[in-house]
């Protein structure tokens, strides 16, 4: 890529592969990424982030800290034993951000608004750092619909609470619908790296319902409020199951829409921590949940090793 206007001077300048960016970004000098406490005035983005090939996002800071350390071992990088990975966004106290060689790991909090703010700022990092074809992943937990708890789901299509394959952003009081289709080849490639016989669990591709709430928004009977009957809940879950929905979570539409708009290949890989046809409360023991957290992580590590080292 040659930046417009540079050709005449013969100066070739690399630009990031991120697409459809805000034209007014060029007017910002510096650009302050407020929620990550990073600024183009004080951080040399191409130097610090220019080698990023994979961006991995998950709900909590501790899970992403563990993931960053896990990935470090998997891709054969080492830290001096007395040194701990540094949270590059610690001053903002909102999201955690770790960098391990070509892998950037961030926690995104709960829900569309939280992950959306982070995605804006991560995509701007890609732009300022001139990253080339980064791939984004969301690794998470979800409620399964008719699947064995512990199953890993790769999202084919993220649906909103009204079962639309869209992410609605209200701009100047008007809803703007953005498509939430995810990269089919990437999903299939990830699935091909799973091995149910060796791994001891299934990895499936299916539709994900993205709700704006954990309780009534996911038809639970255990929230502080409940505006439907157990029969209506059953009917709803059976209806979405018959339409191909295999899990529910709270960030996939925003993630799919924003990465899609930027022309970034991306995938959502979530482990199911309960079967919603059987209940609402998470009764799985903490240790089991921790071991299940590793399932999406292991799959993504296999993908990265294949891309980086061909193994
Ligand atoms: C899955 O788990 C969280 C709610 O407990 C939410 O972030 C999600 O998508
Ligand atoms: N995350 C959700 O959003 N829902 C569940 O049921 C489990 C995890």
Grade residue 92 by pLDDT with cuts at 50, 70 and 90: very high
For residue 199, pLDDT over 80 is answered with: yes
Ligand 1 within 6 A of 59 CB? yes
CA angle 229, 231, 235 (to 5 degrees): 120
Give the model's pLDDT for residue 230: 98
265 is in an annotated binding site: no
143 lines ligand 2 (CB under 6 A): yes
Residue 130 has pLDDT above 80, yes or no: yes
SS3 227: coil
What confidence tier does 82 reach under pLDDT thresholds 50, 70, 90? confident
Q: Is a pLDDT exceeding 90 seen at residue 71?
A: yes
Q: Best substitution site from 109, 138, 140 to test ligand 1's pocket, by max atoms within 8 Å of Cβ? A: 140
Q: Over the stretch 245-299, which tens digit does the pLDDT of each residue have?
A: 999 999 999 999 999 999 999 999 999 999 999 999 999 999 999 999 999 999 9
- Say if residues 100 and 54 touch (Cβ distance below 8 Å): no
Q: Rounded to an integer, what distance in angstroms lies between the CA atom of residue 67 and that of residue 71?
A: 6
E strands along 68-171, which residues? 97-100, 103-107, 135-144, 152-159, 166-171
pLDDT at 155: 98
Per residue in 29-61, pLDDT (tens digit) is 999 999 999 999 999 999 999 999 999 999 999
Cα of 194 to ligand 2 centre, how many Å? 23
Of 2-11, 78-87, 164-173, which gets the smallest average pLDDT?
Answer: 2-11
Q: Is 5 left (phi over 0), alpha (psi -120 to 50) or beta?
A: left
pLDDT band at 12, cuts 50/70/90?
A: low
**pLDDT value at residue 80:** 85
Binding residue per annotation — 139? yes
Enumerate domains of the chain plus CATH numbers.
Answer: 23-309 (3.40.50.1580)
The answer to whether 218 is annotated as binding is yes
Looking at ligand 1, which residue's alpha carbon is closest to its atom 7? 110
Give the CA count within 13 Å in the CB-facing half-sphere of 281.
Answer: 3
Quote the ligand 2 centre to 285 CA distance (angstroms).
Answer: 15
Q: Which residues are CB-contacts of 140 (< 8 A; sequence separation ≥ 6)? A: 58, 59, 249, 251, 268, 269, 270, 271, 296
Mean pLDDT over residues 161-180, rounded? 98
Q: Is 310 exposed, middle or buried (0-12, 13-18, 19+ CB in 10 A)?
A: exposed
Total residues found in the chain within this entry: 311
Average pLDDT, the chain: 95
Helices 252-261/112-129 angle, 10° precision = 30
* Cβ of 141 less than 6 Å from ligand 1: yes
**Start-end of H helices in 144-285:** 184-192, 196-199, 230-242, 252-261
| Predicted confidence band of residue 153 (pLDDT cuts 50, 70, 90) | very high
Ligand 1 within 6 A of 250 CB? yes
- ipTM surpasses 0.90: yes
With a cut of 70, say whether residue 17 has pLDDT above it. yes
Q: Is 141 annotated as a binding residue?
A: yes
Q: Which string of DSSP letters, residue by residue, matches 192-204?
A: HT--HHHHSS-EE
Q: How far away, in angstroms, is 141 Cα from ligand 1 center? A: 6
Residues 96-117, mean pLDDT to the nearest whole number = 98
Please count the CA atoms within 13 angstroms of the CA of 127 that sit on its side-chain side. 21
Q: What angle do CA 124, 127, 130 make, to 5 degrees?
A: 145
Estimate to the nearest angstrom the gap between the alpha carbon of 114 and the chain centroid. Answer: 12
Q: Is 153 exposed, middle or buried (0-12, 13-18, 19+ CB in 10 A)?
A: buried
Q: What does the alpha-carbon distance between residue 204 and residue 183 come to, in Å, rounded to a whole number?
A: 15
Ligand nearest to the CA of 252: 1
Cα(79) to centroid of ligand 1, in Å?
A: 31
Is 96's pLDDT higher than 90?
yes
Among 132, 139, 71, residue whose Cα is nearest residue 103 = 71
User: Ligand 2 mean position to 141 CA, how many Å?
Assistant: 6
Q: Is the CB of 218 under 6 A from ligand 2?
A: yes
From the CA of 237, how far away is ligand 2's center (Å)? 14
94 is in an annotated binding site: yes
């Amino acid at each position: 890529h040659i930046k417009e206007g540079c050709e005449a001077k013969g100066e070739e300048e690399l630009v990031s592969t991120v697409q459809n960016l805000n034209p007014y970004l060029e007017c910002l000098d510096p650009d302050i990424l407020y929620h990550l406490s990073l600024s183009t005035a004080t951080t040399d983005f191409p130097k610090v982030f220019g080698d990023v090939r994979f961006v991995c996002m998950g709900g909590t800071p501790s899970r992403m800290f563990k993931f960053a350390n896990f990935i470090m071992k998997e891709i054969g990088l080492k830290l001096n034993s007395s040194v701990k990975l540094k949270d590059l966004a610690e001053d903002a106290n909102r999201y955690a951000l770790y960098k391990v060689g070509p892998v950037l790991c961030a926690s995104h909090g709960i829900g569309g608004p939280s992950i959306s703010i982070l995605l804006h700022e991560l995509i701007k990092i890609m732009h300022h750092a001139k990253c080339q074809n980064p791939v984004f992943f969301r690794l998470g937990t979800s409620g399964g619909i008719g699947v064995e708890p512990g199953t890993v789901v790769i999202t084919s299509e993220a649906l909103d609470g009204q079962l639309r394959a869209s992410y609605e952003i209200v701009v100047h009081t008007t809803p703007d619908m953005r498509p939430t289709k995810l990269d089919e080849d990437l999903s299939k490639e990830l699935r091909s790296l799973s091995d149910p016989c060796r791994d001891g669990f299934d990895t499936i591709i299916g539709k994900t319902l993205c709700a704006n709430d954990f309780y009534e928004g996911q038809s639970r009977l255990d929230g502080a409020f409940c505006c439907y009957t157990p029969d209506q809940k059953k009917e709803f879950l059976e209806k979405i199951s018959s339409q191909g929905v295999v899990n529910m979570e709270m960030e996939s539409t925003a993630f799919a829409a924003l990465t899609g708009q930027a022309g970034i290949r991306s995938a959502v890989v979530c482990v199911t921590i309960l079967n919603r046809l059987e209940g609402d409360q998470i009764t799985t023991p903490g240790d089991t949940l921790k071991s299940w957290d590793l399932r999406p992580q292991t799959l993504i590590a296999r993908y990265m090793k294949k891309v980086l080292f061909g193994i």
